[in-house]
Amino acid sequence: MSPEVGLVQRKLDEIYRVESRRVLATLIRLLGDFELAEEALQDAFAAALKQWPDEGMPDNPRAWLVSAGRFKAIDRLRRQSRQDPLTEEMAQQLESTSGDPADWAEDRVGDDHLRLIFTCCHPALSMDARVALTLREVCGLTTEEIARAFISSPATLAQRIVRAKNKIRSAAIPYQIPARRDLPERLDGVLRVIYLVFNEGYSASSGESLTRADLSGEAIRLGRQLNQLLPDAEVQGLLALMLLNESRRRARTDDAGALVLLEQQDRSLWDRQMIAEGVELVQRALRSRDFGPYSLQAAIAAVHAEAGRAEETDWREIVGLYDVLLRLAPSPVVELNRAVAVSMRDGPEAGLALIEALLARGELEDYHLAHAAHADLYRRLGMCKQAIAAYEKALSLTRQAAERQFLQRRLQELTS
């Protein structure tokens, strides 16, 4: 490999990392087909590696790649037209339209990327399909990476992605940003997908490792992009929530990978830059008066983040925020979290009464964290027999290795 080719290869690797999803989004708009756009993207980068060492780097690499990808797609269709005359018609249509470089100007590219996010998160697709398609097309993860993250086989994930694309094609799901009247409902679906991806990275549902930094990192990156394209209060709230939670990553496990509870974490390991950014975002969201559940959860996370020591945590403020969250977005999990906060503010007896009433309703019977919280309150009250039973119930429902080890450790402490 010549020095020129090596230099171009390194530069292209960087462009691919930063720009490939934006190039793909524009190619999908121009070509109208996911598969054709993906092939065109790869063809364009291959052409750049071949041509740029001799011709030099273009002034606008992204525009060059979009233009090259479009022409490569037309060539590909013409080759296929020998077997299928319809593809010749498609090639002619593409050749006669979308040739204006203004079509891939910066503002259009931003809109294209937003279109791609909303298309991948369309409510006509199942949630599993939305998550897989978003990770593949918007974040650029490989099928193998997505499969590892969600404990599935690459073949299964590939089929899920293909079915999602077929659904988009067969149902004629529009590649567009929703109309203003539909935006709140559709945006909520996008935010749910991003938060699902983050949660799987921040606290894996199963497997040996408690966290997956690559997944939570992708979710934060996607949140940043969405905030640039659509700076809505709840987009800011979700980004703040992810940043504030992610700021604690280094302190959440010890050197052996064992789980460390929030009150026992070494707060000097918390990322203060992330905390500052998250706090600023949540303050901006709350000032807008158009905030929602993500902003309120971020506000709760900010109270934790700003406490220098665990005993300095303002539990009264946290309970108050949970009260508002319950009115805005009632759920058994929010009730559980509020009950834990009440136990910290008013004592374990108060929290125990709330959790027992919640568990009696049966909605959290299969939720291991509810039984773990129940067990912890029994433990704090010295009710060892009840604590053991609750810890055993939580353990039976837990698939995550670090959480299982933590619960087993608690049981050993109570039985030794």
Is the pLDDT confidence value at 5 over 90?
Answer: no
Q: What is the pLDDT of residue 33?
A: 85
Domain ranges of the chain: 3-98
pLDDT attached to residue 210: 54
Kind and range of the H or E element at 3? helix 3-31
C-alpha to C-alpha distance for 329 and 192, rounded to whole angstroms: 14
Is the pLDDT confidence value at 28 over 70? yes
pTM strictly above 0.75: yes
Nearest residue to 388 (alpha-carbon basis) of 400, 374, 370, 401: 374
pLDDT in tens, 233-253: 999 999 999 999 999 999 998
Q: 233 in the Ramachandran plot: left (φ > 0), alpha (ψ -120 to 50) or beta?
A: alpha
What would the 3-class secondary structure string for 66-105 be? HHHHHHHHHHHHHHHCCCCHHHHHHHHHHHHCCCCHHHHC
What are the distances in angstroms from CA 59 to CA 15, 125, 198, 213? 13, 39, 36, 35
Q: What is the pLDDT of residues 396-413, one digit of tens each?
A: 998 778 889 999 999 999
Given a cut of 70, is residue 83 above it in pLDDT? Answer: no
Mean per-residue pLDDT of the chain: 87
Q: Please compute the mean of the pLDDT values over residues 80-108 and round it to a whole number.
A: 59
pLDDT tens for each residue of 143-171: 887 886 666 788 998 999 999 999 998 88
Please report the pLDDT score of residue 86 as a whole number: 56
Q: For 112, which DSSP code?
A: H
Task: Report the Cα 166 to chain-centroid distance in Å.
Answer: 23
Q: What is the pLDDT of residues 176-185, one digit of tens each?
A: 888 877 777 7
